[in-house]
Amino acid sequence: MEHEKNLEATGPSTRRRRSTRRRRDEPVLSFEGAKPLTYDLDPVEILKEEDIETIHNASMRLLSETGMLLIDHPPALKNLKANGVKIEGEMAWIDEDTLMHFVNMAPNTFTQLARNPLNNLEVGGNQIIFAPVYGPAFAFDLDKGRRPATLEDFQNFAKLTYMTPELHHAGGVLVEPNDVDLQERHLDMLLAHITLNDKAYMGNVIHPDNARDTVTMSEIIFGADAIKENPAALSIVSISSPMRMDERMLSALEVYAEAKQAMILAPFIIVGAMSPSTIAASIAQQNAESLFAIAYAQMLNPGTPCIQGPFLPNVDMKTGAPAFGSPESNLALYACAQMARHYGLPFRSGGNYTASRVPDGQAGFESAGTIWPTVQACTNFILHAAGWQEGGLTSGYEKFILDIETLGALTKFSKGLDLSEEEFAWDAYEEAGPGNHFLGTAHTMRHYKDAFFQPRIFHTDSYEKWKDEGSTDAGQRANVIWKEMLNNYEPPAIDDAVSEELDAFVAQRRQEIRDGKARSEWISSK
């Protein structure tokens, strides 16, 4: 028997109930704004003050002695030199005083705008934001298996993200839509994020014109002045470790910094391959690389919102592939989060990582081994929180739903313990008395709906009931749920004038790309 769900959409534009049959004990989904979690526990910290100083000093030594290689982008070399950075050829060396002068200009927290103001996000502090998987070339579901992802897959994941309260952010490249030309697919992805969802979104970084298109589309939605006050786009700018940045990423960084749009400055390090095979060196290296990029963003436009955001799995020495959920990568995650707090920077890392090709036990083990430490470190922005499969090569439909189950549990965990008078249940003791159960007490009746985390996919029924209902496993139930969600999807409302202007801009840019013309400046019809 199929697992039955009831989905309620109460978004700002659709305050009406939509449902299928459901089990009586299953919670109903609601959409009253995607506010980030407030982490009410103390984050796990493994570094002493002297350890922080040791790592900081190692990072400064890397930047002042080893230096950064900046490939094929003379404007960055010119800008850096003008701000006191030593330049020889394509190499750049920066001293501690100069670096920290600019790093300290980055804001400790910032607000990212969403098309629905209820979904505006506070980034930094003790806030935790969950965002879906980013970047896979393939899609997977139990019916069709693994295949090249399409625009339909992208749109499906955009819809699922909108319908998932545990995901606070729309994300970015949910999958690569391989049925759309590479040069113009960013337009389709951004348009899907904006029209199928009303949460905050990520920009494109493949080409500086793609970044400019992101800025222009954001201006159409929010207004040019508004996004200068608070960013509308949050983009991930990768650093090609070790100690290197190329023209593509430097130019995208420059576009976003000049527009004062938020960025995750993300060293991509597989420990043992793109960094030495020791955790201490890898932590210092990612710290150096990300601080350098943050400093450069501030040189271009002081106050540009930046997130320190490493990707730090270790290499499997037997296969050369990244390993996820390892004790070494988790220790690095705790330390890197602590370093970001030391500098007063928002932090991004972690996710529901797995190398597994299918949503199986390995996927669950590896994902849990990463996402729990990620939250315990009070990571501010968690990309790849749902859907990551096959080492990031694949977005999995069932994996997406199963990950949501974990995020729900972490949402409950993040609140910590409530030690109020009501929580000690004195009236329940008085009503039940010694030797009796508490199932029917007034206190239990007041709290039974929210006392404990209520899973939507995992079952705790008896073996007999499970067998009678079809003997389905979690993956099979997740398969039913994502289909039901898509069947019940309704898009959030969007202003007609905004929609028309977006369509006109996309049509113009698509034609320019196809004609091989340079990007023209968009002149609003308003």
Instruction: Determine contact, residues 217/499, Cβ cutoff 8 Å.
Output: no
β-pair type (127-130, 381-382): parallel
Residue carrying the six token digits 């549990």: 409
Residue 497 and residue 98: Cα distance in Å, rounded?
Answer: 46
Tokens at 355, concatenated: 């190398």
In order of 158, 433, 436, 505, the CA distances from 440 in angstroms are 43, 12, 10, 61
Per-residue pLDDT of the chain (526 residues; tens, 9 = 90+): 333 333 333 333 333 333 333 333 443 344 556 778 999 999 999 999 999 999 999 999 999 999 999 999 999 999 999 999 999 999 999 999 999 999 999 999 999 999 999 999 999 999 999 999 999 999 999 999 999 999 999 999 999 999 999 999 999 999 999 999 999 999 999 999 999 999 999 999 999 999 999 999 999 999 999 999 999 999 999 999 999 999 999 999 999 999 999 999 999 988 888 899 999 999 999 999 999 999 999 999 999 999 998 988 888 888 888 888 889 999 999 999 999 999 999 999 999 999 999 999 999 999 999 999 999 999 999 999 999 999 999 999 999 999 999 999 999 999 999 999 999 999 999 999 999 999 999 999 999 888 888 888 888 889 999 899 899 999 999 999 999 999 999 999 999 999 999 999 999 999 999 999 999 998 765 4
Strand boundaries in 251-350, DSSP class E: 262-267, 306-308, 314-315, 322-323
So what's the pLDDT on residue 524? 65
Residue 449 and residue 446: Cα distance in Å, rounded?
Answer: 8
Residue 14 and residue 35: Cα distance in Å, rounded?
Answer: 18
Minimal CA–CA distance to 118: which of 157, 154, 159, 162?
162
SS3 165: coil
β-pair type (110-112, 121-123): antiparallel
So what's the pLDDT on residue 320? 80
So what's the pLDDT on residue 460? 84
Residue 453 and residue 411: Cα distance in Å, rounded?
Answer: 9
So what's the pLDDT on residue 286? 96
Strand boundaries in 272-354, DSSP class E: 306-308, 314-315, 322-323
Tokens at 133, concatenated: 């998987």
So what's the pLDDT on residue 32? 57
- Contact residues for 197 (Cβ-Cβ < 8 A; gap 6+): 115, 158, 159, 161, 162, 170, 492
Level-2 CATH architecture, domain 110-413: Alpha-Beta Barrel (3.20)
So what's the pLDDT on residue 458? 86
So what's the pLDDT on residue 363? 95
Q: At what angle do helices 74-82 and 247-258 cross, to 10 degrees?
A: 50
| DSSP string covering 359-419 | SSHHHHHHHHHHHHHHHHTT-SEETT-S-EEGGGTEEEHHHHHHHHHHHHHHHHHTT----
In order of 333, 339, 394, the CA distances from 46 in angstroms are 10, 11, 33
Minimal CA–CA distance to 169: which of 231, 84, 107, 254?
231
In order of 96, 157, 250, 394, the CA distances from 346 in angstroms are 20, 26, 21, 28
Minimal CA–CA distance to 304: which of 233, 375, 390?
233
So what's the pLDDT on residue 8? 33
Q: The dihedral of CA 375, 414, 445, 21: what is its sign?
A: negative
So what's the pLDDT on residue 525? 53
DSSP conformation class of 147: E
Instruction: Determine contact, residues 254/300, Cβ cutoff 8 Å.
Output: yes
SS3 353: coil
So what's the pLDDT on residue 456? 81
Domain ranges in the chain are: 110-413
pTM (2 decimals)? 0.92
